[in-house]
Amino acid sequence: MRHFKKLILAFSLVIFNSCGSYFNQPLFQEPSRVGEFSKSTNKLLDLPDAAQKLEVAVYNFSDQTGQFKPVENGSTFSTAVTQGSTTILIKALEDSGWFKPIERENLSNLTTERNIIRNTKQEYIKNLDPNTPPLPPLLYAGLILEGGIISYDTNIVTGGVGARYFGLGASSQYRQDRITVYLRAVSTTSGEILKTIYVSKTILSQSLSGNFFRFVKFQRLLEVETGITQSEPVQIAVKDAIERAVHDLIIEGVQDQLWSAKEGKAVNDQLVADYLEEKEFEESKALYNRLFVDRDYKHSLTLSGGANLIDGDFATKKLGFYGAATYQHNINRFFDFGIDGAIFELNNGEQYSNIFASVGLNGVFNLLPEDDFAPFIFAGPGVVVDVREVVDEQTLIGRAFFKLQYGAGVQYKLNPRVGIKLFAEHNVVLSDELDFRVNGKRDDFYFNFGIGVNYNFNWKNKSKDETIEDINNEDK
């Protein structure tokens, strides 16, 4: 019974480790269903009505990557992406409500069928009814849409995490691929390329696994394994990229006044404004979803607070308060120069407690200067001053110590002006008398841990024209 309880406990831990995936496991055969929406389908369906639908022809929107599906031992003869992207594009054009797609992919089939109809009418139907109207002409398109899937990059990001303890383990792995689509609109009257749209989409694959391995009794081994793998369908990713390309083509055409919404200028302006705002945000991202923030400001001021911990000659160590103000000047993309002033408490409990102030000069190196989540390191010299207000025969006022400080932190930029900083700092005091106790060969030191709000700004400099105008106004 005792071993049975252990078995149930171990199995439960493994199951709960990946319970989110288990809730979606296919346990029964499923019937056919309407195809799933991609993340861009609703954006396409939510577009306002067009002032006039445009006839558009798609001859071929194909896979231009030439890649085969990768396997562990090489590759197979199965293609990496769908070969039916033309059909997906035609469906997206139809869903948008802005275009009237015309059959051109299998034009030979269409013309053959029309010839059969024409010959049948000439040979049989006209003999019965001479007034039968002729076969109507085919529609012709004002636009031709060209392009295709131009790249499929595999394993652009791979990674995972795992742990094992006392025979119980769990792990998770992920892989990210990337598909890229180009779509261009060509005028059939002039051959001019009116617009070219570029869209990329990542494809995520994840796996979760858990196992338990242990001898529960002499020569009795218990082993339990479980896991699940989920991969985003490539067809859905292609559908998402193509629908987003059609959506962007419509909006950029509205922006260039190639076509218009039914409601007119007000709706057109709102569509373009929303699109440009979203586009600006997405263009600030780089590969791997890195978000860039421009560094347009040369100066910054940071107010921070946190905790302080002394490591001196007493065994007892307690956290004290810490507060600081920091000014930094941007020298170039990677380097800043800063000066900070701080007040803090060093606390050894009943043995020693005091309040100090410090001033430090730092050189700051920004590892990722344009990322919204940016790590940095810093180092420099400084001075620590005793600011205790209590005066008696055994205390000194104005004790000062030189120090060296270095540390690291990260800054999350909410926008180009405001950010949040999280940092840790090690301060090495060049003296062993900070806590009034000299013991051993090692000098006293302390740690600062803080979080702060950073504000970036530029000094306002008047131009020459503004200065001359101000002087003229004063003379008047």
- Tell me how far apart the alpha carbons of residues 78 and 80 are, in angstroms, rounded to a whole number: 7
In 399-461, where does DSSP find H-type helix?
none
- Of the candidates 98, 45, 43, 92, the one whose C-alpha atom is nearest the C-alpha of residue 274 is 43
Instruction: Give the type of residue at 28.
Output: F
Burial of 330 (0-12, 13-18, 19+ CB in 10 A): buried
For residues 160 and 173, the answer to whether their CB atoms sit within 8 Å is: yes
pLDDT at res. 2: 43
Residue count of the chain: 476
Looking from the CA of 429 toward its CB, the CA atoms found within 13 Å total 25
Instruction: Give the type of residue at 185.
Output: A
The DSSP secondary-structure symbol of 93 reads H
- Of the candidates 333, 329, 331, 307, the one whose C-alpha atom is nearest the C-alpha of residue 320 is 307
Please count the helices (runs of H) and the strands (runs of E) in the chain. 9, 17
- Tell me how far apart the alpha carbons of residues 362 and 382 are, in angstroms, rounded to a whole number: 9
What are the angstrom distances between the C-alpha of 4 and each of 12, 165, 170, 217, 391?
12, 20, 21, 12, 70
For residues 299 and 328, the answer to whether their CB atoms sit within 8 Å is: yes
CB 45: neighbour CB atoms within 10 A? 13
Instruction: Give the type of residue at 363.
Output: G
- Of the candidates 289, 373, 303, the one whose C-alpha atom is nearest the C-alpha of residue 342 is 303
Identify any residues that bridge with 448 across adjacent strands, giving them in sequence order. Answer: 308, 425
Both tokens of 233, joined, read 């369908």
pLDDT at res. 165: 84
pLDDT at res. 470: 46
For residues 68 and 19, the answer to whether their CB atoms sit within 8 Å is: no
Instruction: Give the type of residue at 341.
Output: G
- Of the candidates 236, 261, 241, the one whose C-alpha atom is nearest the C-alpha of residue 97 is 261
What are the angstrom distances between the C-alpha of 441 and each of 234, 346, 383?
65, 20, 21
Low-confidence ranges of the chain (pLDDT < 50): 1-11, 13-15, 17-18, 389-393, 395-396, 462-476
pLDDT at res. 398: 57
Question: Which domains are seen in the chain, by residue range?
Answer: 36-104+141-283 (3.40.50.10610), 299-457 (2.40.160.20)
Both tokens of 129, joined, read 């009814």
- Of the candidates 256, 208, 191, the one whose C-alpha atom is nearest the C-alpha of residue 23 is 208
Both tokens of 401, joined, read 């110590």
pLDDT at res. 70: 67
pLDDT at res. 396: 46
Residue-wise pLDDT tens digits, 298-307: 899 999 999 9
Whole-model pTM? 0.67
- Tell me how far apart the alpha carbons of residues 313 and 317 are, in angstroms, rounded to a whole number: 10
Residue-wise pLDDT tens digits, 13-68: 444 544 555 556 667 777 888 888 888 899 999 999 999 999 999 998 988 887 77
